[in-house]
Structure 1
Amino acid sequence: MIEADFIIVGTGAAGLVAALHASEHGRVVMITKRGALDSNSNWAQGGIACVTAENDSIEKHVSDTLVAGAGLCKEAAVRTIVSEGPARIADLVKWGVHFDQREAVDGHLEFDLTREGGHTARRVLHAADATGREITEKLLATVRAHPSITIYENHYAIDILTTAKLGLVSEDRVLGLYVLDESSGDVHTFRSDRVILATGGCGRVYLYTTNPLVATGDGVAMAWRAGATISDMEFIQFHPTCLYHPQKRSFLISEAMRGEGARLIGKDGQEFMHRYDPRGSLAPRDIVARAIDHEIKKTGGPCVYLDISHRSPEFIASHFPNIQKACLDVGIDITKEPIPVVPAAHYQCGGVLTDVNGATSIRGLCAVGEVGCTGLHGANRLASNSLLECCVTAQRAVAHLIKKIPQGKVAEQSYELRPWQTSGVVENDELVVIYHNWDEIRRLMWDYVSIVRTNKRLQRAAARLRNLKREVQEFYWNNHVTSEILELRNLVETASLIVECAIRRHESRGLHYTLDYPNTDDTRLPQDSTLRRY
């Protein structure tokens, strides 16, 4: 048994920030199913939204977030996270993160802020077009150098251990996790009364996504099986501009490019966004994604185009070097020609229901970053608020756990944890079953539960997912666990939660648009898409 004062699952921005704050209060163990840099955070391009300029304000940032969230944000959470942003930016700078700067009028250096869709001011800090990589690499270097933090790479968290799982119903609290060591195939027990899920999102539930391979909804699925409350999973954000090219199916074209003047055009070379929203190409993501989806279906073309060729080659090279290189790799010179783009699954706005501290309905279990649902994003995330939420809620989660569970791994009451059981299982020799089910889940989610939905499509998806869940569960119980089986198990669980939440919302709001209920209904309760297991 491996014991720690804190166990953190995930090594993206939220997990790394949590680890650095927690390391001041005891031993920290981090678990990640792949390498430490395999995370959604590392792929983030645009930046981190935070009020740092004199001509900006907390009130403006709060207002922009509430408008984008389409009436479903929790205003208290929005105010807390936005207000604490500057302090968390100072933490990042202290840990070595470098944001692009420029020379101000009076000669001193200031942050080189950009603007993205839905923002009424320039407030997005960035490191060229690879902000997530800059943040995660610098934080990881600091974490690796810390004597109180241990990272277990290629270790897959299987399930959360709780008192309820032991049959103790007086209080449901977390006790640790079962974890698969992929190098040996052994399953170990990791023990702590303080567990933080920072597992990221679930983009791989869909056929087309901007997310890396690791984004399979692991945290949401584990928390649901443990009995935590899940909320708002129908609000899956589709990024409007994913590169349309067979060699780079998951490459994101940053929204910051539109913030710097890039225009969305059709195959006729004409702009079209003004027909859908007066903000044009800088409208919030839900509006832009639906507009592109409509244009593609109306014209019969496979994509639309993003054109920044009117900016100078020097400007493009300095602001978007990684995007420029990626496009050149597939024969597209963005200084001279438009970029073919399509929407793709990008971000889950819902997740494990938490307060602004990341605290879940299970004592000692927190969920921070994309896996959690604090109420910041509502029905549609404002661009670049995700990394902000990671940093703020990670710090608050650690402070919350120290206050509520001051004893850490030394529990007031000792519990005997059952070892992992393997009797009756066999070696899996049918990988084709896993790959087939994986493909079917992603295709049916794309066809039935993507940008535009209907009752009939959702019911078809739900029926097929019920059958797939039974098949996957049988496969899971009868075979030795592997990362492939575990990912498939979490994938089908998360897909089912998305569909169930979508079926419950009888209106169109933010990222959830259904032809059967095309209007927003303000009489609907926010709890409509909140799921409780017990």
Structure 2
Amino acid sequence: MERLRHDGVVVVGAGLAGLSAALSAAPARVLVLTDAPLSHGCSSAWAQGGVAAALGADDAPALHAADTVTAGAGLVVADVARLLAEDGPAAVRHLAALGAPFDRTPDGSFAQSLEAAHSRARVARVKGDQAGRAIMEAVVVAVLAARHIEVRTGAHLTGLLQGADGRVRGVVARIKGRSVEITARSVILATGGIGGLYAVTTTPAELQGEGLGLAAMAGAVIADPEFVQFHPTAIDIGRDPAPLATEALRGEGATLVNGDGERFMAAYHVDAEMAPRDVVARAIHAEREAGRGAFLDARAAVGAHFPDEFPAVFAACLGGGIDPRTQLIPVAPACHYHMGGIATDSDGRTSLPGLYAAGECASTGVHGANRLASNSLLEAAVFGARAGRAAAAAEAPVTGATEPVMAADLAPGDLQTLRQAMSRDAGVIRDAAGLQRLLDLIDQLEIAGGRSAPLVAARLVAACAMNRRESRGGHYRTDFPEHATAERTFVTLDQVTHPNLKFAAE
């Protein structure tokens, strides 16, 4: 195996969190490893709505933090939410300074959209639904110009290097077909979410929880893995991944109707179309299960303005044979965001020395049981930068022997079997029978093909969903539909693979 010594920080992943970490780690040397070309294979570039921040004269970070706490259904860490909201305006202005072309009002202020569960219009956007792509383009330019950063594409994470003391001292990656051990002062995992573990997802299918799974295999504490957010309005045209109809459409006045043309959301929540995402997702799921179907009607709200105001949605609809200016858009819930992840503090430190995490693969507690709309890009920028600074300041590890923590590959056919089972049994609606069926399948796949990182990530979701005998936020159990005590989940892989060990709670 080829070996490389990197005197600095290794960042795995090149979404907004990873690149923000790399930029903020200066002047430390940073090696960014990414499987896909820059701006590809990451959810950041696919984000449509924008970046939530208290930028308006009628807004304040305290209001943003309060909305974040409310949306999180009792599990948000209030101090972390306050930090995110307070750092938000500066983070947006920093992205604008890098060249992100946010929409502006005639007086030069940030144009902002209203999205579900926000008490103010506070989502800074780019051309309606182009925020993620435009922000990533600006950040990538900055990264390529930064002398302290080296980027290696075609690099797939396959393992972590760990010392006898448990400290993470580097990574193992498959780079253009060769296995390479890379030692480093510190490692930041910014590997994204778990959307690729679900048959219906709005995220890149490559995101299969590798960072989460490998961190768990190395012994890291994992927080809240059962909480998966399902976006209510994926465009249901049979594509994998499913295109997204941004929530901003409902903020502009688009409505949800069933096959009879009847608006149905008021029957499920007082806020109707602007209810929290988990409520809207379950309502759409219920309408579809009842055979009535679910559609987004943006004909009056957007109509002829679609090509200019929401070009990504317009193009996706046309590609599926739908003209949203004159036709209803069929929609379905889809895996969209993972609130859980590798447990970290507000500076990205995990329970393992030398290992940091940021973005969707991390869990700071800022999202609780249900992420507030458009907080994801903000989280990536704010906590990615904080993780980069902390990892760069870490002391160099004492030299010594390391052992690789390696994951097996998951066969393509087994991955497809897993994706179907995850959508069926760990999706919008869950119960004990389905979760046990899913856990049994994971056992079978692991016995046959070895312990892969995606299987570990799926096991964490399923086992903790089974253990949480209540419904809260993105986790809904038909056999336990009521709230119980509001406690976060903190768990290790040993605890979910040995039934006699109890899960930790905050």
TM-score by length of 1: 0.88
- 1:136 pairs with 2:136: yes
CA distance in 2, matches of 1:354, 1:419: 22
**Whole-Å Cα distance in 2 between the matches of residues 471 and 5 of structure 1?**
38
* Residue pairs, 1:73-472, within 5 angstroms: 73-103=76-106, 108-128=107-127, 129-163=129-163, 168-169=164-165, 172-181=166-175, 183=176, 185-247=177-239, 249-298=241-290, 300-301=291-292, 303-311=293-301, 313-403=303-393, 405-407=394-396, 411=397, 413-417=398-402, 434-472=411-449
Query: Which AA in structure 2 matches 1:496?
Result: R
Alpha-carbon distance between aligned partners in 1 of 2:150 and 2:276, rounded to the nearest angstrom: 40
Q: Which amino acid aligns with 2:421?
A: L
Q: Which residue number corresponds to residue 31 of structure 2?
A: 29
Structure 1 residues 212, 232: CA separation in 2 closer, same or farther (over 3 Å shift)? same
Q: Distance in 2 between matches of 1:497 and 1:314?
A: 45
The answer as to whether partners of 2:74 and 2:368 remain within 8 angstroms in 1 is yes
Counterparts of 1:419 and 1:442, CA distance in 2:
28
Asked if the contact 1:229/1:533 (under 8 Å) is kept, the reply is no
Matched letter for residue 455 of structure 2: V
Instruction: Return the offset for 1:406.
Output: 4.1
Shift of 1:138: 1.1
1:331 maps to amino acid: G
Secondary structure of 2:159's partner? strand
Aligned counterpart, 2:504? none
Report SS of the residue matched to 1:135.
helix
SS in 1 for 2:109: strand
- Where does residue 65 of structure 2 map in the other structure? 62
Residue 525 in structure 1 maps to residue 487 in structure 2: yes
Please state how far the C-alpha of 1:531 moved relative to its aligned partner: 3.2
Q: For the structure 1 residues 282 and 89, does the alpha-carbon distance in structure 2 shift closer, same or farther, using more than 3 Å as the test?
A: same
CA spacing shift, 1:525–1:246, aligned 2, 3 Å = closer
Alpha-carbon deviations, 1:147-174, whole Å to 9, x = none? 22111111111111121xxxx23xx322
- The separation in 2 between residues aligned to 1:2 and 1:495, in whole angstroms, is 32
Q: Distance in 1 between matches of 2:365 and 2:239?
A: 37
Check the 8 A contact 1:69/1:382 in 2, yes or no.
Answer: yes
Q: Aligned partner of 1:334: which letter?
A: P
CA distance in structure 1 between the partners assigned to 2:271 and 2:405 by the alignment = 55
SS of equivalent residue, structure 2 residue 244: coil
Gaps of 5+ in 2: 496-506
Q: 1:312: Cα distance to partner? A: 5.0
Contact 2:31 2:151 in 1 (8 A): yes
Q: Distance in 2 between matches of 1:69 and 1:205?
A: 23
Contact 2:426 2:434 (C-alpha < 8 Å) held by counterparts: yes
Within the candidate set 430, 455, 459, 1:496 is matched to: 459
CA distance in 1, matches of 2:322, 2:264: 22
| % identical equivalent positions | 36
Q: Note if contact 1:212-1:250 (Cα within 8 Å) is conserved in structure 2.
A: no
Question: Secondary structure, in 3 states, of the residue corresponding to 1:70?
Answer: coil
Unaligned runs of 5+ in 1: 477-488
Letter in 1 for 2:474: L
* Cα distance change on mapping 1:58 and 1:415 into 2, 3 Å: same
Distance of aligned partners of 1:109 and 1:419 in 2 relative to their CA distance in 1, 3 Å threshold: closer
d(CA) in 1 for partners of 2:108, 2:188: 37
How big is each residue's C-alpha offset from its partner over 1:56-115, in whole Å with a ceiling of 9 and x where there is no partner?
111211111111100011101111111111121122122111111121xxxx21111001
- 1:436 positional shift: 2.0
Q: Is the 8 A contact 1:4 1:29 kept in 2?
A: no
Q: Distance in 2 between matches of 1:332 and 1:78?
A: 39
TM-score, normalization: structure 2? Answer: 0.93
CA contact (8 A) 2:74 2:369 kept: yes
Between 1:200-209 and 1:93-102, the stretch displaced more is 93-102
User: 375-384 vs 303-312, which deviates more?
Assistant: 303-312
Give, as a single letter, the amino acid of the residue that structure 1 aligns with 2:319: D
Task: Supply the distance in 1 between the matched residues of 2:404 and 2:221 (Cα, whole angstroms).
Answer: 26
| 1:484 alignment counterpart | none
Structure 1 residue 441, shift from structure 2 partner: 0.6
Kindly tell me the number of residue pairs found equivalent between the two proteins. Answer: 489
Moved more, 433-442 or 489-498: 433-442
Contact 1:97 1:135 in 2 (8 A): yes
Partner letter of residue 175 of structure 1? R
- Deviation, structure 1 residue 439: 1.3
Aligned to 1:342, the other structure's residue is in SS state: strand
Return the letter of the residue paired with 1:260. Answer: E
Give the CA deviation at 1:456: 1.0
Give the Cα–Cα distance (whole angstroms) in 2 for the partners of residues 8 and 447 of structure 1: 34
8 Å CA contact 1:199–1:370 kept in 2: the answer is yes
The secondary structure found in structure 2 opposite 1:56 is: coil
Shift of 1:189: 1.1
Q: Deviations over 1:263-287 (max 9, x none)?
A: 0000111100000001000101000
AA paired with 1:197? L
RMSD value over aligned CA atoms?
Answer: 1.9
Instruction: Provide the residue aligned with 1:479 in structure 2.
Output: none
Partner of 1:5: 8
Q: Quick check: 1:188–1:420 contact (8 Å CA) kept in 2?
A: no
